[in-house]
Amino acid sequence: MRSLVGFAVGFIAGWAARSTVESSRAAVVGVASSAADLLERLKRAAAIEGDYLEDFVAEVRSRVQDSRGWRESPAGATSASNGSTSAGNGGVP
């Protein structure tokens, strides 16, 4: 009788342990999946904010250049300002 009770207790304990491990494994997989999804969303949000920051900096630079009158000179204007004459404009720099 003792061996039968011992077997039953061991069987029930093993069954409980196995069901706990299986359910905890599913829970860990679920948590890891949620963490991976959250990480992907954070990466996407960081990329969007990075693009926004780049656009912001470009707009600030553009406004500063407009307010100070800075302009990039075309390639032909540098040679005209150095004293050489262009054939297309009659020598006017």
83, pLDDT greater than 60 = no
Q: Which two tokens stand for residue 9?
A: 């207790």
Confidence class for position 59, pLDDT limits 50, 70, 90:
very high
With residues binned 3-state (H G I as helix, E B as strand, rest as coil), the percentages for the chain, rounded to 5, are 80, 0, 20
pLDDT for res 40: 97
pLDDT in tens, 7-25: 899 988 888 877 776 677 7
Evaluate if pTM is beyond 0.75.
Answer: no
pLDDT of residue 55: 95
What b/e readout covers 17-53, taking b as 16+ CB neighbours within 10 angstroms?
A: eeeeeeeeeeeeeeeeeeeeeeeeeeeeeeeeeeeee
